Structure 1
């Protein structure tokens, strides 16, 4: 993606940074896509090349969240693409949604996080579990990028065990009072609203819409991240926050509600991680063709070809997994275990491809002249959030054995 188009014999870049990305497609997966899918992908790819690639390395180096892109994502239909058009969404299918996430994460995982949190973790629960009044009030503003949202489930002491949460809503008659804290929340410092999960007086988990400006609600930013540096991450802190009763999501409660949101988000991650993997592979292939050692391109050496061949093999398998999973999502047949397998596999594959691509780039691979190290650092977060690598292993283990191993 954002790389230098030619490399001198000493390994130093010679020309201006350009986004020269070409998508690998060894098994002609494009033949499985509709014209609409290809149009969606093309529009987002062009957007990434023009508005993300030229500046992403600087944003990451400076730990800068490009907030101006929030409205642009809204304009491009990247927020809530599967939400019905009546509420401002795109009314698209899940393969289109996946392709949007793939292309944005090819640009940067942190920016894909911004988009997928907005769509899967904020708009999705309001649409799925909210009242008609809540849908009409919030979804159009979120879809357009006028408002940015965040999702509050993880707590300082409860990550992989969300059911152990201690955040509470107390019924005070004509309103609720919210107390507690959430941690590692993408978008929170800039968010206009938060969909927060808390236990009521009966210990039942409820979804709560908390708006910026409510007294007692703060969202301090988490500083000094080495990963997802072009996105904004923070906490959510609630100190006797007065919540109107109409801000409770009425149509589903219990732990199953936020877990349904996570299924949607994990699906998007499976596609997004593939985008990062493709970007690393494409950059490594170009570099190997241009970097001269021992009087020939390093692409001519067996071990470099081995790395590239293994990268392309794993990318091709992930492409087919994503397409089939997208079909099942469209049919309403995809299970949590199937989504978990795709998320876990594709992120692990992307991380390994980033590491191998870094080796092909040699010393240049650790610099901001190429996207490799940024992708690698980002993926170290992606492999942990929305369910850790090991938790997804155990979700699949339960599917295989019928025995839950993590309680």
Structure 2
């Protein structure tokens, strides 16, 4: 609803420094808006904040993503996994540090009044802050926050740009001051260690993983999958959909242009998944991984979906993502042993099967049309999976196939990126 014009500016909101509240969270971080329940708490004087969200994963309507973000001064952690939680400490940069999300509205230098509006039946005054590459607005009823909107502007490697929007709608009476329990701001004990390897994979022979990866093609180094994330067919179909629906915008200038398919041997005693970004020739250079086991192959349903991120389960309606730590890479000619969960190497490359250019899939075969249709139907990503599978199954364009552009272990053709 648009704000109603007003010529008289009300008193500026002074949101309590220490408060907590239930809320509704609306986010577009995956490229498609999703809505769910949430909880917020902050103590601005101690520079601490806690944000919890539980939302259905876009495109499924049933699988839930559960995340708690905890920020304390210059430290921050993400806790995921629902009833079987795990923790990742985040590197110190930008939004990963504590920032008071409300104090700016009290300053006439930092904000401006933008009229009155109604949010879920509650009248409130709208205040706006505009900054480089980001904007915020707060609708407040007196000193009580009703709705906070944040938009971050990100420029991708292709020169395109995308706004990532988050909305927090607070409801009910706030809990303020000493009534907000201290434990909400304490670092959980699980943040000091990685989760143990899956029990149902211990003592087993390695399993074959048909793995896909969306990657740059600037040099031979871009085919090295150490400290990179790969996926099964469903997981990569989803990743490509989301990356391209966001116009390939990223905090990392990734220059993705190729899609490769590998046959791997991996230990099924999966560990904690790492979030990996960057290649040697990207800006900033990589790879760099956050929060994953340094030796065990990591596994999760995309975006931490499900209890324990679905790490030890056999199936997921949106497939799986895998982390391949450099410390677990087997020497040439070796594969993981049955005791890989306890020590030794955990993954090996058997063969790179094929590499295609993204333009074949995205432009020649209209891949994003399949992505959009799958998101709308909310029954997984069958169309996107079928299109990706067809691209690797043949080189016949009439059958949805794409040409193999080669790579460092084959006779490559000229790769145009």
* Shared fold (TM-score, shorter chain, > 0.5): no
TM-score by length of 2: 0.23
Query: TM-score, normalization: structure 1?
Result: 0.24
Query: Going by fraction, where is strand more abundant, 1 or 2?
Result: 2
Q: Which has the higher helix share?
A: 1
Larger RCO: 1 or 2 (CA < 8 Å, sep 6+):
1
Larger radius of gyration: 2
